[in-house]
Amino acid sequence: MAEGQKHLTGGCLCGHVKFRVEGPMREVVACHCSQCRKQTGNFFASSNAKSADVSFVETKGLKWFKSSEEAERGFCQDCGSALFWRRFDSDTISITAGSLDGKTGLRICEHIYVADKPDWYEITDGIKQYPIWR
């Protein structure tokens, strides 16, 4: 969170999903795997927080899709915004960086699944890259 912030808020494009994060958030990870690209149209840039620190203020558009045996993805069924990713066996939830409101103080800290990256862009930011998950 940006200095002085006690919480972050976020949501989808149409406002049918809104959330609030009360606790600390991890720096942003950029995932280049094929599932993330299919969901977002590009790489998936997300932070994460403890699930217990996330409260949903508006959920009328929230839909969850089981994307694998280990995880599901949350999105707004009304406007299509990609919002969340969570493992079934975890106490954290990944939140798309673009869904957060205002300044966050977060920065990209690493790129994962770079071996799956398509050929139409290059990663030139000098940040650590991993061919798969760390």
Q: Residue 1: is its pLDDT beyond 60?
A: no
At 64-78, the pLDDT tens digits run 999 999 999 999 999
Fold held by 8-116: 2.170.150
Instruction: Give the mean model confidence (pLDDT) for residues 82-106.
Output: 97
Give the domain ranges of the chain.
Answer: 8-116
Q: Residue 134: is its pLDDT beyond 80?
A: no
Share of the chain above pLDDT 90, in %: 93
Q: Residue 133: is its pLDDT beyond 90?
A: no
Instruction: Give the mean model confidence (pLDDT) for residues 12-34.
Output: 97
Does the predicted model carry a pTM greater than 0.85? yes
Q: Residue 4: is its pLDDT beyond 90?
A: no
Instruction: Give the mean model confidence (pLDDT) for residues 97-101.
Output: 98
Q: Which CA distances in Å does 59 have to 7, 8, 20, 74?
A: 19, 17, 12, 11
pLDDT at 6: 78
